[in-house]
Protein backbone atom coordinates (compact mmCIF):
# COMPACT_ATOMS: atom_id res chain seq x y z
CA UNK A 1 0.00 0.00 0.00
CA UNK A 2 2.79 2.35 0.87
CA UNK A 3 4.52 1.60 -2.47
CA UNK A 4 1.30 2.25 -4.36
CA UNK A 5 1.01 5.69 -2.72
CA UNK A 6 4.64 6.52 -3.59
CA UNK A 7 4.07 5.44 -7.18
CA UNK A 8 0.91 7.48 -7.37
CA UNK A 9 2.73 10.52 -5.99
CA UNK A 10 5.57 10.14 -8.54
CA UNK A 11 3.13 9.99 -11.44
CA UNK A 12 1.30 13.05 -10.16
CA UNK A 13 4.58 14.97 -9.91
CA UNK A 14 5.52 13.99 -13.46
CA UNK A 15 2.18 15.15 -14.77
CA UNK A 16 2.53 18.47 -12.89
CA UNK A 17 6.05 19.00 -14.28
CA UNK A 18 4.85 18.27 -17.82
CA UNK A 19 2.02 20.73 -17.40
CA UNK A 20 4.35 23.46 -16.21
CA UNK A 21 6.73 22.78 -19.13
CA UNK A 22 3.87 22.90 -21.61
CA UNK A 23 2.73 26.28 -20.26
CA UNK A 24 6.20 27.66 -20.60
CA UNK A 25 6.48 26.51 -24.24
CA UNK A 26 3.04 27.80 -24.98
CA UNK A 27 3.98 31.17 -23.47
CA UNK A 28 7.15 31.44 -25.52
CA UNK A 29 5.33 30.45 -28.68
CA UNK A 30 2.58 32.99 -28.14
CA UNK A 31 5.06 35.87 -27.48
CA UNK A 32 7.04 35.47 -30.77
CA UNK A 33 4.21 36.41 -33.17
CA UNK A 34 3.37 39.37 -30.97
CA UNK A 35 6.90 40.73 -31.43
CA UNK A 36 6.71 40.40 -35.25
CA UNK A 37 3.39 42.16 -35.29
CA UNK A 38 4.82 45.01 -33.24
CA UNK A 39 7.74 45.43 -35.68
CA UNK A 40 5.42 45.51 -38.67
CA UNK A 41 3.28 48.11 -36.96
CA UNK A 42 6.35 50.19 -36.23
CA UNK A 43 7.50 50.04 -39.88
CA UNK A 44 4.05 50.99 -41.11
CA UNK A 45 4.00 53.90 -38.69
CA UNK A 46 7.44 55.09 -39.88
CA UNK A 47 6.33 54.85 -43.49
CA UNK A 48 3.18 56.77 -42.65
CA UNK A 49 5.23 59.49 -40.96
CA UNK A 50 7.24 60.12 -44.22
CA UNK A 51 5.03 62.22 -46.55
CA UNK A 52 4.48 60.84 -50.04
CA UNK A 53 5.58 64.17 -51.57
CA UNK A 54 8.99 64.20 -49.88
CA UNK A 55 12.29 62.82 -51.14
CA UNK A 56 15.15 62.17 -48.75
CA UNK A 57 18.49 62.85 -50.48
CA UNK A 58 21.90 63.74 -49.16
CA UNK A 59 23.93 66.64 -50.56
CA UNK A 60 26.33 64.16 -52.15
CA UNK A 61 23.50 62.30 -53.84
CA UNK A 62 22.07 65.54 -55.18
CA UNK A 63 25.44 66.50 -56.63
CA UNK A 64 25.98 63.09 -58.19
CA UNK A 65 22.53 63.11 -59.81
CA UNK A 66 23.21 66.44 -61.52
CA UNK A 67 20.25 68.25 -59.97
CA UNK A 68 20.91 72.02 -59.86
CA UNK A 69 19.18 74.30 -57.36
CA UNK A 70 18.55 78.03 -57.49
CA UNK A 71 17.15 80.63 -55.10
CA UNK A 72 14.23 82.41 -56.73
CA UNK A 73 13.15 86.04 -56.57
CA UNK A 74 10.12 88.04 -57.68
CA UNK A 75 9.98 90.10 -60.82
CA UNK A 76 7.84 88.53 -63.51
CA UNK A 77 8.66 87.97 -67.15
CA UNK A 78 8.87 91.72 -67.74
CA UNK A 79 11.81 91.93 -65.34
CA UNK A 80 13.96 89.60 -67.44
CA UNK A 81 15.40 89.69 -70.93
CA UNK A 82 16.40 86.24 -72.13
CA UNK A 83 18.82 86.12 -75.04
CA UNK A 84 21.35 83.86 -76.71
CA UNK A 85 24.96 84.94 -76.36
CA UNK A 86 28.51 83.88 -77.08
CA UNK A 87 31.66 84.23 -75.00
CA UNK A 88 34.35 86.20 -76.84
CA UNK A 89 37.78 87.56 -75.92
CA UNK A 90 37.85 91.19 -74.85
CA UNK A 91 39.56 93.68 -77.21
CA UNK A 92 42.72 93.48 -75.08
CA UNK A 93 42.42 89.75 -74.44
CA UNK A 94 43.40 88.47 -77.89
CA UNK A 95 46.30 89.36 -80.19
CA UNK A 96 47.23 88.45 -83.75
CA UNK A 97 50.96 88.03 -84.36
CA UNK A 98 52.29 88.74 -87.86
CA UNK A 99 55.71 89.00 -89.48
CA UNK A 100 56.75 92.59 -90.24
CA UNK A 101 58.95 91.37 -93.06
CA UNK A 102 58.75 88.50 -95.54
CA UNK A 103 61.14 85.60 -95.33
CA UNK A 104 61.73 81.98 -94.36
CA UNK A 105 60.88 80.61 -90.92
CA UNK A 106 64.11 79.47 -89.28
CA UNK A 107 62.90 78.82 -85.71
CA UNK A 108 59.53 77.94 -84.13
CA UNK A 109 59.70 78.46 -80.38
CA UNK A 110 56.08 77.94 -79.31
CA UNK A 111 53.43 75.39 -80.14
CA UNK A 112 49.65 75.35 -79.99
CA UNK A 113 48.41 75.64 -76.40
CA UNK A 114 51.75 76.79 -74.95
CA UNK A 115 51.69 79.62 -72.40
CA UNK A 116 53.50 82.81 -73.36
CA UNK A 117 54.46 86.06 -71.66
CA UNK A 118 54.12 89.54 -73.10
CA UNK A 119 57.14 90.20 -75.32
CA UNK A 120 58.20 86.54 -75.49
CA UNK A 121 59.41 85.25 -78.87
CA UNK A 122 57.19 82.80 -80.75
CA UNK A 123 59.28 82.30 -83.92
CA UNK A 124 62.11 83.80 -85.98
CA UNK A 125 61.91 84.68 -89.68
CA UNK A 126 65.10 85.21 -91.68
CA UNK A 127 64.54 88.03 -94.15
CA UNK A 128 66.40 90.19 -96.65
CA UNK A 129 64.01 92.98 -95.76
CA UNK A 130 65.15 92.69 -92.15
CA UNK A 131 68.76 92.95 -93.28
CA UNK A 132 67.91 96.10 -95.25
CA UNK A 133 66.14 97.62 -92.24
CA UNK A 134 69.15 96.85 -90.04
CA UNK A 135 71.51 98.38 -92.61
CA UNK A 136 69.42 101.53 -92.85
CA UNK A 137 69.53 101.84 -89.07
CA UNK A 138 73.32 101.52 -89.02
CA UNK A 139 73.78 103.99 -91.90
CA UNK A 140 71.43 106.53 -90.37
CA UNK A 141 73.23 106.30 -87.07
CA UNK A 142 76.59 106.87 -88.74
CA UNK A 143 75.28 109.92 -90.63
CA UNK A 144 73.89 111.38 -87.42
CA UNK A 145 77.27 110.95 -85.70
CA UNK A 146 79.07 112.61 -88.62
CA UNK A 147 76.60 115.49 -88.63
CA UNK A 148 77.13 116.10 -84.93
CA UNK A 149 80.90 116.27 -85.45
CA UNK A 150 80.48 118.71 -88.31
CA UNK A 151 78.24 120.86 -86.15
CA UNK A 152 80.80 120.92 -83.36
CA UNK A 153 83.49 121.99 -85.79
CA UNK A 154 81.38 124.78 -87.29
CA UNK A 155 80.49 126.03 -83.83
CA UNK A 156 84.18 126.19 -82.92
CA UNK A 157 85.02 128.07 -86.12
CA UNK A 158 82.16 130.46 -85.56
CA UNK A 159 83.34 131.16 -82.01
CA UNK A 160 86.81 131.89 -83.37
CA UNK A 161 85.33 134.37 -85.87
CA UNK A 162 86.57 132.20 -88.73
CA UNK A 163 83.29 130.86 -90.11
CA UNK A 164 80.17 132.78 -90.98
CA UNK A 165 76.95 132.35 -89.02
CA UNK A 166 75.21 130.92 -92.06
CA UNK A 167 77.63 127.97 -92.05
CA UNK A 168 76.81 127.27 -88.40
CA UNK A 169 73.08 127.34 -89.09
CA UNK A 170 73.50 125.01 -92.06
CA UNK A 171 75.45 122.57 -89.90
CA UNK A 172 72.74 122.72 -87.22
CA UNK A 173 70.03 121.91 -89.78
CA UNK A 174 72.01 119.00 -91.22
CA UNK A 175 72.64 117.59 -87.73
CA UNK A 176 68.95 117.82 -86.85
CA UNK A 177 67.97 116.11 -90.10
CA UNK A 178 70.49 113.33 -89.59
CA UNK A 179 69.30 112.79 -86.00
CA UNK A 180 65.68 112.56 -87.18
CA UNK A 181 66.63 110.03 -89.86
CA UNK A 182 68.51 107.95 -87.30
CA UNK A 183 65.49 108.02 -84.99
CA UNK A 184 63.23 106.89 -87.83
CA UNK A 185 65.53 104.01 -88.66
CA UNK A 186 65.68 102.91 -85.03
CA UNK A 187 61.88 103.00 -84.72
CA UNK A 188 61.48 101.00 -87.93
CA UNK A 189 63.95 98.40 -86.70
CA UNK A 190 62.20 98.24 -83.35
CA UNK A 191 58.75 97.89 -84.92
CA UNK A 192 60.02 95.07 -87.12
CA UNK A 193 61.66 93.48 -84.05
CA UNK A 194 64.94 92.91 -85.84
CA UNK A 195 67.28 90.29 -84.37
CA UNK A 196 70.57 91.40 -82.85
CA UNK A 197 72.56 90.15 -85.85
CA UNK A 198 70.22 91.93 -88.28
CA UNK A 199 69.42 88.79 -90.27
CA UNK A 200 65.79 88.28 -89.33
CA UNK A 201 62.74 89.42 -87.43
CA UNK A 202 61.36 88.04 -84.16
CA UNK A 203 57.67 87.23 -83.87
CA UNK A 204 56.79 88.20 -80.28
CA UNK A 205 53.50 88.09 -78.41
CA UNK A 206 52.20 91.51 -77.31
CA UNK A 207 50.15 89.99 -74.45
CA UNK A 208 50.40 87.18 -71.94
CA UNK A 209 48.21 84.14 -72.48
CA UNK A 210 48.20 80.95 -74.52
CA UNK A 211 48.70 80.19 -78.19
CA UNK A 212 45.22 79.45 -79.56
CA UNK A 213 46.05 79.26 -83.27
CA UNK A 214 49.17 78.99 -85.42
CA UNK A 215 49.67 78.95 -89.19
CA UNK A 216 53.41 78.53 -89.49
CA UNK A 217 55.83 75.75 -90.42
CA UNK A 218 59.57 75.51 -90.15
CA UNK A 219 61.23 76.53 -93.42
CA UNK A 220 58.06 77.98 -94.95
CA UNK A 221 58.18 81.38 -96.65
CA UNK A 222 55.80 83.89 -95.08
CA UNK A 223 54.53 87.17 -96.44
CA UNK A 224 54.57 90.40 -94.42
CA UNK A 225 51.47 91.18 -92.29
CA UNK A 226 50.17 87.59 -92.60
CA UNK A 227 48.61 86.08 -89.48
CA UNK A 228 50.95 83.43 -88.10
CA UNK A 229 49.94 83.14 -84.43
CA UNK A 230 46.93 84.02 -82.31
CA UNK A 231 47.35 84.47 -78.56
CA UNK A 232 44.45 84.81 -76.10
CA UNK A 233 44.29 85.58 -72.40
CA UNK A 234 41.49 83.44 -70.86
CA UNK A 235 41.12 85.90 -68.02
CA UNK A 236 40.06 88.73 -70.34
CA UNK A 237 36.69 87.76 -71.80
CA UNK A 238 33.32 89.31 -72.45
CA UNK A 239 29.87 88.08 -73.42
CA UNK A 240 27.99 89.40 -76.44
CA UNK A 241 24.22 88.89 -76.35
CA UNK A 242 21.81 89.70 -79.17
CA UNK A 243 18.75 91.62 -77.93
CA UNK A 244 15.76 93.08 -79.75
CA UNK A 245 15.28 96.78 -80.36
CA UNK A 246 12.59 97.17 -77.67
CA UNK A 247 14.63 95.27 -75.09
CA UNK A 248 17.79 97.23 -75.87
CA UNK A 249 16.16 100.48 -74.77
CA UNK A 250 15.41 98.97 -71.34
CA UNK A 251 18.99 97.98 -70.59
CA UNK A 252 21.53 100.23 -68.89
CA UNK A 253 25.16 99.86 -67.93
CA UNK A 254 25.46 98.06 -64.59
CA UNK A 255 22.29 95.95 -64.93
CA UNK A 256 22.61 92.50 -63.39
CA UNK A 257 22.73 89.42 -65.60
CA UNK A 258 22.92 85.66 -65.08
CA UNK A 259 24.82 83.39 -67.45
CA UNK A 260 23.33 79.91 -67.87
CA UNK A 261 26.07 77.45 -68.83
CA UNK A 262 25.41 74.24 -70.79
CA UNK A 263 26.12 72.11 -67.70
CA UNK A 264 23.35 73.85 -65.75
CA UNK A 265 25.52 76.07 -63.58
CA UNK A 266 25.07 79.84 -63.52
CA UNK A 267 27.51 82.75 -63.38
CA UNK A 268 26.75 86.34 -62.44
CA UNK A 269 27.65 89.16 -64.83
CA UNK A 270 27.02 92.87 -65.41
CA UNK A 271 25.94 94.77 -68.51
CA UNK A 272 28.81 97.00 -69.62
CA UNK A 273 27.29 98.60 -72.71
CA UNK A 274 24.60 98.22 -75.38
CA UNK A 275 25.27 99.13 -79.00
CA UNK A 276 23.17 102.13 -80.10
CA UNK A 277 22.55 100.68 -83.58
CA UNK A 278 21.06 97.43 -84.83
CA UNK A 279 22.90 94.83 -86.85
CA UNK A 280 21.99 94.89 -90.53
CA UNK A 281 21.76 91.09 -90.67
CA UNK A 282 20.00 90.18 -87.42
CA UNK A 283 18.22 93.50 -86.79
CA UNK A 284 19.27 93.19 -83.15
CA UNK A 285 21.44 95.20 -80.82
CA UNK A 286 24.41 93.74 -78.97
CA UNK A 287 24.61 93.84 -75.19
CA UNK A 288 28.18 93.46 -73.93
CA UNK A 289 28.49 91.83 -70.49
CA UNK A 290 31.50 91.76 -68.22
CA UNK A 291 32.20 88.61 -66.22
CA UNK A 292 35.05 87.83 -63.84
CA UNK A 293 34.90 84.03 -64.08
CA UNK A 294 38.09 82.99 -65.86
CA UNK A 295 36.85 79.42 -66.38
CA UNK A 296 34.57 80.42 -69.24
CA UNK A 297 35.95 79.49 -72.66
CA UNK A 298 35.79 81.90 -75.60
CA UNK A 299 33.53 80.61 -78.36
CA UNK A 300 31.10 78.90 -75.96
CA UNK A 301 27.41 79.57 -76.69
CA UNK A 302 25.34 80.37 -73.59
CA UNK A 303 21.98 81.78 -72.60
CA UNK A 304 21.79 84.95 -70.55
CA UNK A 305 19.07 86.43 -68.38
CA UNK A 306 19.39 90.19 -67.98
CA UNK A 307 17.47 92.17 -65.36
CA UNK A 308 16.88 95.64 -66.86
CA UNK A 309 16.70 98.52 -64.43
CA UNK A 310 13.89 100.01 -66.50
CA UNK A 311 11.95 96.74 -66.69
CA UNK A 312 8.32 96.32 -65.71
CA UNK A 313 8.41 94.28 -62.52
CA UNK A 314 5.56 92.37 -60.89
CA UNK A 315 5.15 90.27 -57.78
CA UNK A 316 5.20 87.05 -59.81
CA UNK A 317 8.10 84.62 -59.57
CA UNK A 318 9.81 83.41 -62.73
CA UNK A 319 11.52 80.02 -62.99
CA UNK A 320 12.70 77.84 -65.83
CA UNK A 321 10.09 75.61 -67.44
CA UNK A 322 12.24 72.61 -66.54
CA UNK A 323 11.72 73.37 -62.85
CA UNK A 324 7.94 72.85 -63.12
CA UNK A 325 6.91 69.19 -63.27
CA UNK A 326 3.49 67.55 -63.47
CA UNK A 327 2.80 65.14 -60.63
CA UNK A 328 -0.66 63.61 -60.22
CA UNK A 329 -2.16 66.11 -62.66
CA UNK A 330 -0.79 69.09 -60.73
CA UNK A 331 2.08 71.49 -61.47
CA UNK A 332 4.70 71.19 -58.75
CA UNK A 333 8.20 72.41 -58.04
CA UNK A 334 10.69 70.59 -55.86
CA UNK A 335 11.63 72.78 -52.90
CA UNK A 336 14.98 72.12 -51.25
CA UNK A 337 14.63 70.97 -47.63
CA UNK A 338 17.13 70.07 -44.96
CA UNK A 339 16.92 66.38 -45.89
CA UNK A 340 16.16 66.53 -49.61
CA UNK A 341 13.23 67.90 -51.63
CA UNK A 342 9.51 68.36 -51.25
CA UNK A 343 7.07 68.49 -54.16
CA UNK A 344 5.13 71.74 -53.71
CA UNK A 345 2.02 72.47 -55.83
CA UNK A 346 2.07 75.84 -57.63
CA UNK A 347 -0.14 77.89 -59.90
CA UNK A 348 1.59 78.85 -63.15
CA UNK A 349 1.09 81.87 -65.39
CA UNK A 350 2.60 83.14 -68.63
CA UNK A 351 5.45 81.42 -70.45
CA UNK A 352 8.17 82.97 -72.58
CA UNK A 353 11.61 81.89 -73.89
CA UNK A 354 11.78 78.83 -71.67
CA UNK A 355 10.68 80.72 -68.54
CA UNK A 356 7.39 80.45 -66.68
CA UNK A 357 5.70 82.65 -64.08
CA UNK A 358 4.61 81.20 -60.73
CA UNK A 359 1.46 83.05 -59.76
CA UNK A 360 1.06 81.44 -56.32
CA UNK A 361 2.27 78.63 -54.11
CA UNK A 362 5.91 79.60 -53.85
CA UNK A 363 7.35 82.29 -51.55
CA UNK A 364 10.23 84.54 -52.59
CA UNK A 365 13.66 83.36 -51.47
CA UNK A 366 12.86 79.66 -51.73
CA UNK A 367 15.51 77.36 -53.15
CA UNK A 368 14.14 74.95 -55.74
CA UNK A 369 15.47 72.35 -58.16
CA UNK A 370 15.82 73.75 -61.68
CA UNK A 371 17.95 71.60 -63.93
CA UNK A 372 17.19 67.84 -64.00
CA UNK A 373 14.09 68.28 -61.86
CA UNK A 374 12.49 65.49 -63.88
CA UNK A 375 14.82 63.04 -62.10
CA UNK A 376 13.18 63.97 -58.81
CA UNK A 377 9.76 63.42 -60.37
CA UNK A 378 10.84 59.97 -61.52
CA UNK A 379 12.19 59.11 -58.08
CA UNK A 380 8.98 60.30 -56.47
CA UNK A 381 6.92 58.16 -58.86
CA UNK A 382 9.12 55.17 -58.12
CA UNK A 383 8.43 55.53 -54.39
CA UNK A 384 4.68 55.77 -55.02
CA UNK A 385 4.80 52.58 -57.12
CA UNK A 386 6.62 50.68 -54.40
CA UNK A 387 4.03 51.71 -51.82
CA UNK A 388 1.26 50.37 -54.00
Cα dihedral across residues 178, 182, 188, 189: positive or negative: positive
Give me the pLDDT at residue 63, please: 82
Q: What pLDDT, in 10s, does the model give residues 117-143?
A: 999 999 999 988 888 888 889 999 999
CA gap 209, 94 in Å, rounded: 8
Portion of the chain with pLDDT greater than 70, in percent: 81
Give me the pLDDT at residue 15, please: 36
CA gap 350, 358 in Å, rounded: 8
CA gap 191, 95 in Å, rounded: 16
pLDDT at 14 over 60: no
- The residues that bridge with 105 in the sheet, in sequence order, are 125
Considering only residues 280 and 154, tell me which one the structure prediction assigns the higher pLDDT: 154
Average pLDDT over residues 109-114: 92
Q: What pLDDT, in 10s, does the model give residues 153-185?
A: 999 998 888 888 898 899 999 999 999 999 999
- Phi and psi, residue 253, nearest 5°: -60, 130
Burial of 214 (0-12, 13-18, 19+ CB in 10 A): buried
Q: What pLDDT, in 10s, does the model give residues 343-368?
A: 888 888 777 667 787 877 888 888 88
Amino acid sequence: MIQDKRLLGGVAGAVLLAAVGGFSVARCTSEAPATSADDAATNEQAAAETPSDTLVMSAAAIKDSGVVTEMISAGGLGAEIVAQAIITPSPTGEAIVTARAGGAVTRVLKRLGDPVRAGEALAVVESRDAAQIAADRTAAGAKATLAQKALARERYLYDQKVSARVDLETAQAEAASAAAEAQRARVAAGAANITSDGRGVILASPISGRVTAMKISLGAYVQPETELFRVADPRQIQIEAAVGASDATRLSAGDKAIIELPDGHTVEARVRAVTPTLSGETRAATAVLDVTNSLLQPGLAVRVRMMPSRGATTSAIVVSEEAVQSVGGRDVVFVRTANGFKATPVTTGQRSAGRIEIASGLPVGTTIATRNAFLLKAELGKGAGEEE
